[in-house]
Amino acid sequence: MAKTVLEVKDLKMYYFTSRGVVKAVDNVSFELKKGEVLGLAGESGCGKSSLGFTLMGMPTPPGKIVGGSVKIDGREIVGLPEDVLRREIRWQKISMIFQGAMNALNPVYTIGYQMIEPLIYHKGMEKEEALDRAMKYLELVGLSPEIVYRYPHELSGGMKQRVIIATALILEPEVVIADEPTTALDVVVQAQIINLMKKLKKELGLSMIFITHDLSILAEISDRVAIMYAGKIIEIGDSQKIYYEPAHPYTQKLLAAIPRLHEDVDKLEFIPGQPPNLIKPPSGCRFHPRCPYAMQICKEQEPELKEIDKDHYAACWLL
CB of 251 to another protein, least distance (A): 11
Determine if 270 is a binding residue for another protein (CB under 8 A).
Answer: yes
For the segment 2-61, give every residue that binds another protein (CB under 8 A): 37, 43-44
Determine if 281 is a binding residue for another protein (CB under 8 A).
Answer: no
Work out whether the CA dihedral 57, 60, 61, 64 comes out positive or negative: negative
| Binds another protein (CB under 8 A): choice among 271, 291, 314, 315 | 271
Determine if 265 is a binding residue for another protein (CB under 8 A).
Answer: yes
Q: Whose Cβ is closer to another protein: residue 268's or residue 279's?
A: 268
| CA count, 13 A, side-chain hemisphere, 263 | 8
Report residue 205 CA to chain centroid gap: 17
CB of 243 to another protein, least distance (A): 5
Determine if 286 is a binding residue for another protein (CB under 8 A).
Answer: no
CB of 290 to another protein, least distance (A): 9
| Binds another protein (CB under 8 A): choice among 19, 153, 267, 310 | 267
CB of 124 to another protein, least distance (A): 36
Q: Whose Cβ is closer to another protein: residue 71's or residue 213's?
A: 213
Query: How many residues make contact with another protein (CB under 8 A)?
Result: 52
Determine if 129 is a binding residue for another protein (CB under 8 A).
Answer: no
Stretch that binds another protein, among 11-19, 81-89, 118-126, 186-194 (CB under 8 A): 186-194
Stretch that binds another protein, among 117-125, 128-136, 270-278, 300-308 (CB under 8 A): 270-278
Q: Which of 275, 197, 171 is nearest to 231 (CA)?
A: 275
Q: Which residues bind another protein (CB under 8 A)?
A: 37, 43-44, 156, 158, 186-192, 194-195, 198-199, 202, 213-223, 225, 239-240, 242-244, 253-255, 257-262, 264-265, 267-272, 274
